[in-house]
Amino acid sequence: MVLLLCLLLVTAASGCSQRKEYQESTVYAMDTILTFQVLTDSDSGIFDLLRKEVDQVNLMLSATDAGSELYRLNQSDGKCFEASEELADVIVRCLSVAKETNGALNIALYPVTQAWGFPSGDYHIPNGEILKELMKKIDWEEIQIEQNQIQLLPGMALDMGAVGKGYLTDRCVEILKEQQISSALLKLGGNIYAYGTREDGSAWRIGIQKPFSEEVAAVLTAKNEAVVTSGTYQRYFEEDGKKYHHIIDSATGYPADNELESVTIVSASGFQADALSTAYFVMGLDASIQAWKQNPDIGVIWILKDGAIYYTENLNGRFSAAEGTETYMVRQE
Ligand code: ADP
Ligand code: MG
């Protein structure tokens, strides 16, 4: 069973009127805090539906929960596994992003992220020889998938940590639409979805965190869009004065090490935003600027280690950086 810690906060007294108010529900799942803020009647039941969805997605995509479908796939030891259509579909979409980003997104990295102790919380630098052996098990091009039949090589294992919250976001958005909700803000760790507008009709204002700080580096307005950030500061440990974070470069088996501190993607699709924020982070600034040129509908904000911020021209007018920040607009040309 998935252990969920649920807390329902009614943010305003509703009495017996049917007036809609913003209400909030917080769930602990996917190794993070998920907060749903929804404009609704007090008795709409929306939070039960959202929490049910969290449970279902967890039961499909968790790599650590022994009851999950992904866990069973990871135990298949080279044999063919009959997956649900949903899981097969998520994997196919991940492989398509892997191709598009030359393997920067690699869902087959699990043996390596486990060696770093990221899923368990037992963080440490892996032994070089062990890492070398595990690096032979992370080739995503070896994932065989035909309809819902999936076959991994023995020793391979998949990890949906880079896309799970984005996928869940899209499923929650579908529920909000079905329930005819007009306004909501979903916060799934670093994944935000601005659903509709605020009650007064204005766009949501999303703060983008300054890495390793409580301050806001930039503010962005958003409507019906995911705003997803991947960064070095979200999960890391320090050894001998050096920081090791949880986004791994498949080429080295080590945390991606480039000029970036975080990448934020703005997209109508939570899945795409989550997948590409991780992938662009691994690619670094220059390669991900080139990748964005093939993907001009999304917005991107890059925060560099030196504090400078790059942002794509389609965000111009809805994006403002903190005073004194060096900013550069990236154009399609
Ligand atoms: P967060 O989980 O903080 O939102 P990301 O979406 O960037 O951050 O996902 C990072 C997680 O994805 C890691 O904790 C790990 O489980 C997994 N991961 C790490 N490196 C990669 C990679 N190159 N490709 C795919 N998944 C990765
Ligand atoms: Mg991601």
pLDDT in tens, 14-31: 444 568 999 999 999 998
| pLDDT, position 201 | 97
User: What tens digit of pLDDT does each residue of 29-67 get?
Assistant: 998 999 999 999 877 899 999 999 999 999 999 999 999
C-alpha span between 181 and 39 (Å, rounded): 7
CA atoms within 13 A on the CB side of 229: 24
* Helices and strands, counts by H and E, the chain: 8, 20
Residue 61 sits at φ, ψ, to 5 deg, of -105, -5
| pLDDT, position 42 | 77
Q: Tell me how far the alpha carbon of residue 166 lies from the centroid of ligand 2, in angstroms.
A: 7
**Ligand 1 proximity of 103 Cβ (cutoff 6 Å):** no
**Ligand 1 proximity of 246 Cβ (cutoff 6 Å):** yes
Q: Atom 19, ligand 1: which residue's CA is nearest? A: 247
| pLDDT, position 134 | 98
Contact between residue 38 and residue 184 where contact means Cβ atoms under 8 Å apart: yes
| pLDDT, position 5 | 40
pLDDT, one tens digit for every residue, the chain (333 residues): 333 443 444 444 444 456 899 999 999 999 899 999 999 987 789 999 999 999 999 999 999 999 999 999 999 999 999 999 999 999 999 999 999 999 999 999 999 999 999 999 999 999 999 999 999 999 999 999 999 999 999 999 999 999 999 999 999 999 999 999 999 999 999 899 999 999 999 999 999 999 888 899 999 999 999 999 999 888 899 998 999 999 999 999 999 999 999 999 999 999 999 999 999 999 999 999 999 999 999 999 999 999 999 999 999 999 999 999 999 999 998
**Nearest atom within ligand 1 for CA of residue 107:** 25
C-alpha span between 195 and 198 (Å, rounded): 8
**33 strand-pairing partners:** 28
CA pseudo-torsion sign 268, 211, 57, 8: negative
| pLDDT, position 19 | 84
| pLDDT, position 277 | 98
Smallest Cα–Cα separation from 247: which of 272, 285, 284? 284
| Closest ligand to residue 279's CA | 1
Q: Tell me how far the alpha carbon of residue 302 lies from the centroid of ligand 2, in angstroms.
A: 14
Pocket test for ligand 1, best of 74, 247, 261, 274 (most atoms within 8 A of CB): 247
| pLDDT, position 8 | 42
**Nearest atom within ligand 1 for CA of residue 119:** 16
**Ligand 1 proximity of 274 Cβ (cutoff 6 Å):** yes
Per-residue tokens: 258? 């480039």
Q: Give me the helices (H) in the chain, please.
A: 46-61, 69-74, 85-100, 110-115, 128-134, 164-178, 270-283, 285-293
Q: Tell me how far the alpha carbon of residue 13 lies from the centroid of ligand 2, in angstroms.
A: 37
What's the DSSP call for residue 247? -
C-alpha span between 9 and 5 (Å, rounded): 13
DSSP-derived secondary structure for 272-293: HHHHHHHHHHHH-HHHHHHHHH
**Ligand 1 proximity of 106 Cβ (cutoff 6 Å):** yes
| pLDDT, position 17 | 54
Contact between residue 86 and residue 53 where contact means Cβ atoms under 8 Å apart: no
**Is the whole-model pTM more than 0.85?**
yes
CA angle 282, 194, 320 (to 5 degrees): 70
Contact between residue 160 and residue 170 where contact means Cβ atoms under 8 Å apart: no
Pocket test for ligand 1, best of 246, 265, 288 (most atoms within 8 A of CB): 246
Which residues have beta carbons under 5 A from ligand 2 (an ion)? 162, 230, 274, 277-278
